[in-house]
Amino acid sequence: MNIELKAVTEPGRRLVEIAEGHVADFATHTDEHDRESSFPFENMEALQKSGMMAACVPEEFGGLGVVSSHDAALGVGRLGRGDGSTAIAANMHIFAGWVITRAWKAAKAGTDAQIAAITEGLLQQIGAAQMIMCTVASEGGTDLRHPRTEATRVDGGWALNGRKIFGTLSPVAQLFFVPVRVADGTDEVGGGFAFVPRGTPGMEVKDNWDALGMRGSGSNDVAFKDCVIPEASLINTGPYGAWTEMTLEVATSGNLGLVAAFLGIAETARDITVEMVKTRRKGANDRTLAERYSIQHTIAEIEIDLAACRAMLGRSGLAIDAFYAEHGAGDAPLDVLHELNKDFQCTKWFVNRKAIEIVDRALTVSGGAGYLSKNRLSQLYRDVRAGPFMQPFSPNEAFEYIGKVTLGLPPDIDA
């Protein structure tokens, strides 16, 4: 019996099947990109051709029509089994499609013809494999709700100035979503999202990604200097620093796939280790490592943690699906969304930490072999360490947020 997480919808099952078809291929050259810190353009091209990058786009626009965040996350998690860098990069685009689809449905059902037209155009391009999107949100010394990159009103539009970090997927993205601080000449400072096409004068994607792990993710800095965009390319999201439905939407559904990617890394470490101990022999008696009690105990710990990670991720994914099925865009109560996000942050912390422990145990079982750079486990260990640093909260901030929501306190982080 295979107890791995399974998709719960038919579009989700198609997505997972497509993702599983990429795993073996991506695994064959992950070492090359890891060593060179190079971006796997060929992987993104393959994901475009297979239709995976249009996973959450409605079928009428050429997508797979995946509505379930749970199932979309499982697709990303399967990619994580083959290459973690590709998985987190693809997640940036796949879940952007989920957010845009939700916004399109709400705008079409309402009276916002402009938003309906913009989002429909994006969905058509994604469905036709003509668009890859990247959200560049992180900045040094602040949090996601308080961007320092500023949009200032100028004749005919907005001028952007600032610098983003951790721009995962930036080497291949054609459209960048940029959270900004909006200064429109009034006393009120707002928050917003700017849409910036690649090649816009004043925008520069730096080729500077060099990290311990996830070295093929292309998480470069993106700088803006007097980068002018049209008036319609900026959407106001409310008062600066305020919690909004969109920020919480991105924090939950938008990050579910990232957690699944680290689960996928742990699953691969487990599989490598189990095969290794069943075949490697050691000692005068020439018995396999699998026959040793200490090895059996460690393998059991891996299985227990893996089962718990799957259970928590699956439960949170289904809870997120149930919430968004009940509440359309613009109709989600923030207090309930905070409760949902609190639950997800518990899952995120647990799965990320346990994934690290699983890979660490696998490395321990391997002996010195796993420490060598040529061994896949060494890369998996470096990649899985990235999990706790993923947005929207650092580990310390996550504890603060979870505690405040649980205690009924305002969920603002003391940053």
Fold (topology level) of 150-239: Butyryl-CoA Dehydrogenase, subunit A; domain 2 (2.40.110)
Element (H, E) at 264: helix 245-279
Every domain of the chain and the residues it spans: 10-132, 150-239, 245-407
Burial of 3 (0-12, 13-18, 19+ CB in 10 A): exposed
Q: What is the pLDDT of residue 348?
A: 97
Q: CA nearest 157: which of 121, 116, 194?
A: 194
Name, in order, each residue with C-beta under 8 angstroms of 368's C-beta and a sequence gap of 6 or more. Answer: none
Q: How many helices (H) and strands (E) does the chain have?
A: 10, 10
Please tell me if the domain spanning 10-132 has the same topology as the one spanning 245-407: no
CATH topology of domain 10-132: Butyryl-Coa Dehydrogenase, subunit A; domain 1 (1.10.540)
The predicted structure's pLDDT at residue 330: 83
Residue 124 confidence (pLDDT): 97
- Tell me what pLDDT residue 388 has: 92
CB 187 within 8 A of CB 127: no
What is the full per-residue pLDDT of the chain (415 aa) written as tens digits?
578 999 999 999 999 999 999 999 999 999 999 999 999 999 999 999 999 999 999 999 999 999 999 999 999 999 999 999 999 999 999 999 999 999 999 888 887 788 899 899 999 999 999 999 999 999 998 988 999 999 999 998 999 999 999 999 999 999 999 999 998 777 678 999 999 999 999 999 999 999 999 999 999 999 999 999 999 899 888 899 999 998 899 899 999 999 999 999 999 999 999 999 999 998 888 899 999 999 999 999 999 999 999 999 999 999 999 999 999 888 899 999 999 999 999 999 999 999 999 999 999 999 889 999 999 999 999 999 999 988 788 888 999 999 999 999 999 987 6
Cβ(256)–Cβ(5) under 8 Å? no
In Å, what is the CA distance from 122 to each residue of 61, 164, 296, 326?
10, 23, 51, 25
Burial of 359 (0-12, 13-18, 19+ CB in 10 A): buried
Q: Return d(Cα 380, Cα 364) in angstroms, integer.
A: 13
What is the reported pLDDT for 1? 52
Residues 6+ apart with CB under 8 A from 341: 248, 251, 252, 401, 405
43, two tokens: 């992987």
H-helix or E-strand spanning residue 289: none
Contact in structure between 4 and 61 (CB atoms under 8 Å): no
pLDDT of residue 109: 86
CATH class of 245-407: mainly alpha
